[in-house]
Amino acid sequence: MRDLIRCPSVTPVEGGALSYLQTRLEALGFEITRKVFSADGTPDVENLYARWGTQSPNLCFAGHTDVVPTGNETDWTAGPFAGDVREGILFGRGAVDMKGGIACYLAAVESLFDAGWTPRGSLSFLITGDEEGPAINGTKAILDWLVGQGEAFSACVVGEPTNPDTIGDAIKIGRRGSVSGVLTVNGTQGHAAYPHQADNPVRGLVQLTGALMDTPFDTGTDNFQPTNLEVTSLDVGNAAFNIIPAQATARFNVRFNDTWTADTIKQEIERRLAAAASTTTLRDTSKGPVAFDVAYTDRPSHVFLTRDDVLISSISQAVAAETGTMPELSTGGGTSDARFMKDVCPVVEFGLVGQTMHQIDERVPLSDLTKLTAIYRRFIEGYFEAGS
């Protein structure tokens, strides 16, 4: 684990992390594939796929070795890539998100093989260097390539930090969908002292963003939280105090449940905007409706829910056996590479406690690493026993 932390793999740099994993996995008899993918306007990304065995089922572990930037390194109490251990706690960028999860799963597989165990099928690792970046040349790209080569997957565990407080709190069995967009309101530039000669787009932007956020989209469903839209920035690009701007923009993100699809949530957003634009409560009515445009990011994340009983039961029972508590089956939180894995096989997410991810002094207790390794080991054994 410390060796993996010491690889400075800030996205999209490989930093030696994939090479380290390749060495460890080859020693266990895994066949290794390293692939670099490219796309216009995005950095090249290296990915690793390792498989032991040729038979079905193929149980895959997916994760990422890339980490977010460290921030000001002088703010860390130890170097972010030093891998220091103090009072039973390991410090370093990626300790939680998510080199810790990768190290624990690898340690679980190593301990099983050392004990003479062999799977009744195949084990595989799919590790990317692009999860914290654009996520274009990473998991999605190598999955498409692997499927094109005839590779098949039976189930997948993504080792993201899923637990809010303690190991065993929650297993992610699905995720809400996500759509992001930019709302632009157009006005007429003018002098702030002569507002009748201008049309201030800020008034319209306030009116329209209020319409997006004020009324709930739904009350939630049996498996998902209520849909929620947040405006994340407002901007007019205006440094002067006495100029009414010609244009104002707002960025927004909506996390939606299975009441909606990406298309229908966009339709509802546009319905709300059109209705608010024609109700000129904040503007001079003689100026007519608010003039606006809305543009969405290219790739929405789609809502999904895993219903594979063998996969969910195997990992739930492993957690309960090692912690004494049955985990919650959750669909909360943000997106992950599970959104790509769900297109090829049933997928769940389970890893460490996420309280310090992306923070200065990201850290994990060594006891949590030990516990997660034991859970993964028990899960792997249980999955193949249940499948047989």
Active-site residue set: 66, 131
Q: CB-based contacts of 286: which residues, under 8 Å, 6+ apart?
A: none
**64 dihedral zone (left: phi>0; alpha: psi -120 to 50; beta):** beta
**What is the b/e burial string over 274-287, where b = at least 16 CB atoms within 10 angstroms of the residue's CB?**
bebbeebebbeeeb
Q: How far apart are CA 68 and CA 345, in angstroms?
A: 28
What's the rounded Cα separation, in Å, for the pair 16 and 180? 33
* 267: its two tokens: 């339709």
Q: Which amino acid type is present at position 249?
A: T
SS3 346: coil
Cβ-contact 304, 175 below 8 angstroms? yes
Tokens describing residue 274: 């059109």
Location of structure tokens 């899923």: 162
Using a 10 angstrom Cβ sphere, with 0-12 exposed, 13-18 middle and 19 or more buried, the burial of residue 61 is buried
What one-character-per-residue DSSP string does 299-315 give?
-PBPPEE---HHHHHHH
Q: What are the distances in angstroms from CA 182 to CA 185, 273, 295?
A: 10, 12, 5
What is the spatial distance between Cα 275 and Cα 168, in angstroms, rounded to a whole number? 46
Q: Give me the amino acid identity at 30.
A: F
- Give one DSSP letter per residue of 116-144, joined into a string: T---SSEEEEEEES-TTTTSSSSHHHHHH
